[in-house]
């Protein structure tokens, strides 16, 4: 979904080409979120600005570039326009504020005029990049049109820079001097909906303002004299005053775009207005009920992320890298959380008593995150003895399903920014439930708005199709079940055996990853298929759903995950000699039922691919021909972690063989921040 990036260099000489490349690179880091157009704004030179005589202000005009399609097409068009204008790319700026954006169309088709930055009108006096949706934009637009503004785009965003100009002109008309933050605060007073915004204005050259409500925005701070001692010298944004020290400041909707520049960051909170001016950072907290915003002091955090995480390394695609990274990501997920015979979840320990006394545990999520919770649900039911129900976030919201104070609602989201999940969280909070988050993203809205939770620590996931986050989510929920059930003596030996299996899990994952070539082979044999069915049950019903989802998402092939127990109630009608069917039949309490499913499919000459535990080949495929995927056996509740991996590999290879975009599949976004 939409992405924001901004770069301000202060008291350090940076050439125009360098500034542009920092902005382009920021956009490339946001690419994985999904987008359909992009844009940047930088400064022109005062001397070379056309039509100078008519300009209503003295400073340099901004230059705005917007383009539909891939970022590389924006890059090409910017360089060719800059060349045509005769703009000096080597010109150096001691201070300069640039902004950039990737757009995922919601209001208006992908096109340059609907891309961001959106503008206040001729002269681009105010420019805005925006993530989120302004829900009252129609009424604001009507008002602004009545005041003589003309609109060029179909976006909701365009009202924001126009409103800024309106506010600025009104104040100026009354001969008042008005600061940039006063203008912005007056604008956001009028806005309803969700947003992360960056403002740039030629009336306030070399300044930037960022603010947010319900949409993530991060400030990155890089001291240039001596990064280490500089970092140590300020723990606090309040000390980031105008000290004249050279520095570089970044805004982004995503930590991934900041990590290569600095690890010192601030997660901006709702209703905060962050103003960069003369090398200082000021944070104002805005309150609707009060006339004046209050100045607040915020501490910088240090990012625990390595630059390697956002690079492909020796892999061809991020999805491939992330699949193969799972032994490592699972290790970091479990790090510090497994003891000899017990588990520790720092984020939940103070809430376990409340969870144990809940009347019900409700899992809420979307897509892969929902599937991960579904995979771990049987074990949580077994260890907690509490009814565990599943909710797709959008469906919970559509139904306004009942949630009570006695419930524990667990929200699962890799990004922590999925709009449906966050709205469901608001709903559960307002009904008084204990709200627990399970997310991969420190500082995300989910992490901040839940009462407590667990970070899955899987590392940055860039491929749109979630892989390593899925297996880490299952493991975290399994550890959560162990923590909730820790007060029961009757399940102690079961718990200890699962803790042992968790310790062995990364090695077993390494083993199953050796099926890579076999899965490539299988993908070649399935290349022409029109459709695929995946049957699972028990612990592996979720594996069937998730395996089918992976194939659907990236290989753009129809595929359905089905509960094997429902086979005779409809799906059996589809079985013939051509339709490929994957049956998951690894060893667990449902094994004999799955054997019977295989027999029934054989009897109808189904085209079978059976996933079984190592050594079970002969017994599972006795009644007919089938292709086998043999996987290592682990504890029943952890088997979904192993079983999904061959299906992730299959989806990956099918996609590559078919020549589709692996990391950014058609029409999909990594982070679905709108409903
Ligand atoms: C924490 C530290 C980790 C450190 C460890 C040492 C963070 C982010 N984690 O990990 O760096 O090594 O202590 O003991 O600083 N939370 C929510 N909602 C969510 C997710 C988390 O409210 O969706 C809260 C938790 O309740 C907790 C905090 O965020 O208060 C950190 O959670 P988590 O990282 O899972 O805690 P630890 O594993 O203890
Ligand atoms: C989108 C992604 O649909 O959101 C999926 O394309 C993902 O991969 C789903 O599973 C939920 O995202 P999150 O961040 O809430 O886990």
Ligand 2 closest atom vs CA 366: 11
Q: What DSSP character marks residue 624?
A: S
The whole-number pLDDT of residue 306 equals 75
Q: Which residues are 365's β-sheet partners?
A: 392
Q: Which ligand is nearest to the CA of 346?
A: 1
Which range (3-7, 201-205, 302-306, 397-401) has the least confidence? 302-306
Q: Are 240 and 468 in contact (CB under 8 A)?
A: no
The whole-number pLDDT of residue 233 equals 47
pLDDT of 614 higher than 90: yes
Which residue has the CA at smallest separation from atom 11 of ligand 1? 304
Q: Strands 626-631 and 607-613, how do they pair? A: parallel
Q: Which ligand is nearest to the CA of 369?
A: 2
Which residue has the CA at smallest separation from atom 1 of ligand 2? 670
> For residues 44 and 35, what is the distance between their CA atoms, to the nearest angstrom?
27
CA-nearest of 432, 436, 430 to 451 is: 436
- Could you report the per-residue pLDDT of 517-535, keeping only the tens digit for each? 999 999 999 999 999 999 9
Would you call 663 helix, strand, or coil by DSSP? Answer: coil
pLDDT of 338 higher than 90: yes
Indicate whether residue 453 lines ligand 1 (CB < 6 A). yes
pLDDT of 48 higher than 60: no
C-alpha 14 – ligand 2 centre gap (Å): 38
Q: Please report, rounded to a whole number, the percentage of residues in the chain having pLDDT higher than 70.
A: 94
pLDDT of 27 higher than 90: yes
Mean pLDDT, range 95-124, rounded to an integer: 93
Which residue has the CA at smallest separation from atom 5 of ligand 2? 367
Indicate whether residue 346 lines ligand 1 (CB < 6 A). yes
C-alpha 454 – ligand 1 centre gap (Å): 6
pLDDT of 432 higher than 50: yes
- Could you report the per-residue pLDDT of 195-239, keeping only the tens digit for each? 999 999 999 999 999 999 988 899 999 986 555 544 444 445 555
Ligand 1 closest atom vs CA 411: 23
Ligand 1 closest atom vs CA 304: 11
The number of residues making up the chain comes to 675
Task: List CB contacts of 579: < 8 A, sequence separation 6 or more.
Answer: 529, 531, 532, 533, 606, 607
- pLDDT category of residue 54 using cuts at 50, 70 and 90: low
- State the first-to-last Cα distance of the chain, in angstroms, to the nearest integer: 11
pLDDT of 365 higher than 70: yes
Q: Which token pair is 355?
A: 């969870």
Q: Which ligand is nearest to the CA of 437?
A: 1
- pLDDT category of residue 49 using cuts at 50, 70 and 90: very low
Give the number of C-alpha atoms closer than 13 A to the C-alpha of residue 666, restricted to the C-beta side: 8
Which range (52-61, 249-258, 336-345, 664-673) has the least confidence? 52-61
The whole-number pLDDT of residue 51 equals 45
C-alpha 68 – ligand 2 centre gap (Å): 24
- Domains contained in the chain, CATH given: 3-309 (3.60.20.10), 318-658 (3.40.50.10490)
Whether the bond between 306 and the residue before it is cis, its omega within 30 degrees of 0, is no
The whole-number pLDDT of residue 35 equals 85
Whole-structure pTM value? 0.82
- pLDDT category of residue 175 using cuts at 50, 70 and 90: low
CA angle 210, 215, 219 (to 5 degrees): 40
Which residue has the CA at smallest separation from atom 1 of ligand 1? 346
pLDDT of 94 higher than 80: yes
Indicate whether residue 668 lines ligand 2 (CB < 6 A). yes
Mean pLDDT, range 333-339, rounded to an integer: 94
The whole-number pLDDT of residue 608 equals 96
User: Which runs of consecutive H residues, i.e. helices, occur in 31-179?
Assistant: 71-85, 137-146, 159-173
The whole-number pLDDT of residue 485 equals 96
Q: Which ligand is nearest to the CA of 416?
A: 2
C-alpha 366 – ligand 2 centre gap (Å): 6
Which range (30-34, 155-159, 269-273) has the least confidence? 30-34
- Could you report the per-residue pLDDT of 282-291, keeping only the tens digit for each? 999 988 777 7
The whole-number pLDDT of residue 364 equals 98
C-alpha 306 – ligand 1 centre gap (Å): 18
Ligand 1 closest atom vs CA 454: 35
The whole-number pLDDT of residue 226 equals 52
C-alpha 345 – ligand 1 centre gap (Å): 8
197: left (phi over 0), alpha (psi -120 to 50) or beta: beta
- pLDDT category of residue 53 using cuts at 50, 70 and 90: very low
Q: Which residues are 280's β-sheet partners?
A: 277
Indicate whether residue 369 lines ligand 2 (CB < 6 A). yes
The whole-number pLDDT of residue 476 equals 98
Best mutation site among 255, 304, 346 for ligand 1, i.e. most ligand atoms within 8 A of its Cβ?
Answer: 346
The whole-number pLDDT of residue 60 equals 67
The set of catalytic residues is 2
Ligand 1 closest atom vs CA 439: 23
The whole-number pLDDT of residue 297 equals 83
């Amino acid at each position: 979904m939409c992405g924001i990036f901004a770069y301000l260099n202060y008291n350090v000489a940076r050439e125009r080409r360098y500034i542009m490349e920092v902005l382009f690179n920021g956009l490339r880091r946001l690419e994985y979120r999904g987008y359909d157009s992009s844009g940047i704004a930088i400064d022109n030179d005062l001397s070379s600005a056309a039509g100078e005589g008519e300009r209503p202000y003295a400073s340099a005009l901004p230059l705005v570039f917007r383009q539909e399609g891939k970022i590389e097409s924006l890059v090409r068009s910017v360089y060719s326009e800059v060349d045509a204008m005769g703009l000096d790319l080597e010109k150096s700026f001691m201070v300069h504020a640039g902004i950039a954006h990737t757009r995922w169309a919601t209001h208006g088709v992908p096109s340059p005029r609907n891309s961001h930055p959106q503008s206040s009108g001729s002269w681009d006096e105010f420019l805005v990049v925006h993530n989120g949706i302004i829900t009252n934009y129609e009424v604001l637009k009507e008002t602004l049109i009545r005041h003589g503004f003309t609109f060029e785009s179909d976006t909701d965003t365009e009202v924001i820079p126009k409103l800024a100009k309106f506010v600025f002109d009104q104040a100026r008309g009354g001969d008042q001097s008005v600061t940039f933050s006063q203008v912005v605060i007056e604008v956001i007073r009028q806005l309803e909906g969700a947003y992360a915004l960056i403002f740039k204005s030629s009336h306030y050259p070399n300044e930037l303002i960022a603010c947010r409500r319900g949409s993530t925005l991060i400030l990155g701070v890089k001291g240039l004299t001596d990064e280490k001692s500089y970092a140590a010298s300020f723990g606090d944004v309040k000390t980031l005053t105008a000290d004249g020290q050279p520095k570089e400041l970044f805004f982004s909707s995503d930590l991934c775009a900041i990590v290569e520049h600095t690890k010192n960051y601030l997660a901006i909170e709702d209703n905060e207005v962050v103003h960069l001016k003369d090398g200082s950072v000021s944070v104002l907290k805005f309150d609707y009920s009060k006339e004046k915003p209050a100045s607040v002091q915020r501490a910088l955090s240090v990012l625990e992320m390595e630059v390697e995480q956002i690079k492909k390394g020796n892999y061809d695609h991020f999805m491939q890298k992330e699949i193969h990274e799972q032994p490592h990501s699972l290790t970091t997920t479990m790090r510090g959380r497994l003891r000899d015979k017990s588990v520790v979840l720092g984020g939940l320990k103070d809430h376990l008593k409340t969870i144990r006394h809940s009347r019900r545990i409700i899992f809420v999520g979307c897509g892969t995150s929902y599937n991960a919770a579904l995979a771990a649900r049987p074990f949580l039911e077994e260890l907690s003895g509490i009814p565990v129900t599943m909710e797709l976030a959008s469906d919970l919201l559509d139904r306004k399903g009942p949630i009570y104070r006695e419930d524990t609602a667990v929200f699962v989201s890799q990004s922590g920014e999925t709009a449906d999940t966050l709205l469901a969280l608001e709903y559960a909070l307002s009904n008084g439930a204990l709200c627990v988050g399970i997310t991969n993203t420190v500082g995300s809205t989910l992490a901040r708005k839940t009462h407590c939770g667990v970070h899955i620590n899987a590392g940055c996931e860039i491929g749109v199709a979630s892989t390593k986050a899925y297996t880490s989510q299952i493991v975290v929920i399994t550890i959560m079940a162990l923590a909730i059930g820790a007060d029961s003596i009757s399940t102690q030996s079961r718990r200890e055996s699962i803790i042992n299996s968790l310790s062995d899990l990364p090695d077993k994952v390494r083993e199953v990853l050796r099926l890579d070539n076999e899965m490539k082979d299988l993908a070649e044999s399935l290349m022409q298929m029109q459709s695929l069915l995946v049957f699972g049950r028990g612990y592996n019903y979720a594996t069937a759903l998730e395996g089918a989802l992976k194939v659907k998402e990236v290989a753009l092939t129809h595929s359905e995950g089905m509960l094997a127990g429902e086979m005779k109630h409809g799906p059996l009608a589809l079985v013939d000699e051509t339709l490929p069917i994957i049956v998951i039949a690894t060893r667990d309490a449902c094994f004999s039922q799955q054997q019977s499913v295989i027999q029934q499919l054989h009897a109808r000459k189904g085209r079978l691919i059976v996933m079984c535990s190592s050594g079970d080949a002969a017994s599972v495929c006795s009644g007919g021909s089938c292709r086998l995927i043999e996987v290592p056996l682990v504890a029943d509740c952890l088997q979904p972690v192993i079983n999904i991996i061959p299906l992730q590999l299959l989806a990956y290879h099918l996609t590559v063989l078919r020549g589709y975009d692996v990391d950014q599949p058609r029409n999909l976004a990594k982070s679905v921040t709108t409903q």
